[in-house]
A and B are shown apart, each in its own frame.
Chain A
């Protein structure tokens, strides 16, 4: 998000999902296994690819969409920047950039030109492992297609250079004028149902709702007036910093709503120690999760079927969530939070979540025009500044949110940890179709079909180690050790192992790297070094 915020002025997906089937002539996918992580968007990509739309898939894994792709770029994990810089190098060398767009709508172009000059195709081929010919082909195709969309997900962001990766993608889109029109743009597909909304609502340490900075005096005084309280001006702690502070004894109490960092955050053992170190921990959850085990008080949460409210999707569309059944714990989550606040000494009273929304919208210029009545049938895309505004399906038309688009060139940054003699395999992680992070194992149907981890290992490595599909292995990194069943498949390259993180019995994140993107604090889930040993039956 920080990458797009710096380059474009807004971290959100620029274009609507249905541009895939209605507008796009080319889709460039970098680090997104869409048919598994966002299946319905994946269906649309397939539909488009089977008609006139071209598709380039850049992924070290042979993901399902490779079968429908026109080009598959199998670059080495952690070499996205060289790949993108190499494409830009060729585009500039051949004069395929959108000169008018660059001149009128962007700044800092000379710096980009200087940086990518070093990324000649031969050098890029060496770093990425792809052929010079393929690099030329995809660079020319992207640059010369009028309506080209870029999609990425955590394959781009979950690296030590995640923000730099995103900036490089934004550079490529700006260089070729692929922003601000239907069928173009840069589309980070959001992982969780409401990751966009949680950001929009200001569940971030530096901004109030609608990305209004906490250290801006005018904005803070607006919120102070509305909330009847004096508010802190200093930026708060990000998640990894919170756990660091808990380690150091600076953070003493935490409230965790609906998250399970012990299973989902990198370097899990470090998180456990931090939680152990707290004086008081409150967790509000559906289940007694690995994180909830550390709590002093657990408040039972209500599920999506038990609450009224809204989610904001990856395309910035605010949509209704409706209560279908009575909450199993007897009350909805918003009621619990209000009661807790009131008990603490800060009364919160609302009759219905619609009132909470209205209070937020009145303070948030980009959402002022949205209320429950307007989104009763079809959701609206923010920005939507007034009640007669139709919403904004695509961003940056005619002008970037920040004014001029800013090129942010970057050099290659190798992963924080790479395989060596002691830990010779590269571990990469992600989701599988049948599971959604750590909730779906609680679905009896889903869990009865897919109940355990199946780590993917290339046949070449499997043969060397005498491993077959169904064998069990111990996977060890510098931080932890887990056991897993194996699936032998050429979806992964030789020298690589790929695992998901859905299963309690194989807590993959005990292995993952402690390296973080220095700007966002995102963990480097996509690359770390491990060693694999077969368990003899």
Chain B
């Protein structure tokens, strides 16, 4: 659900860039630390980036300067936390605008905030909440992904509403209008994406559980429990 090039006035482009930049800097700092500690994380980072690219390229039209699609950020959020995800997302969004003419350069800041910062933060909150409880890994992954997706679309609606408030009712009513239009496609998509990523996680746990343990994503006991269920 990237906003299109030229859709936001320059004042708003600037505001979203200013919000996005500190998050990116924090992400770069963390990225350096993770890579210094464990170089093997690099392929996983690359794959999650490619994965976000492919998933968020499957777009459906939606009536608002923007379109609906899965975001794919859940996986990266769980593996590396929200700030590194912001950096990966920024790179992916840049590639999308230059490879597929999807998204834009001036609105990159706004798209980073919605897809790379707010969505992953919401997903990460759910992950932290559920990680140490006895909730099944797959349900955790499902919830994290679906929430990252839903919060991304709520933020996009807010960005559009702030730039184009309705005459009657102002920002609130145009926010509800954009939200309503997105909800039609995005709520089912969030659920499907959650299911798909939970299945992808099942593959990883079956075939390559070691990296999940090394990155301390889930505890060893929990992964062994999940493996035994399969």
Chains A and B bind each other = no
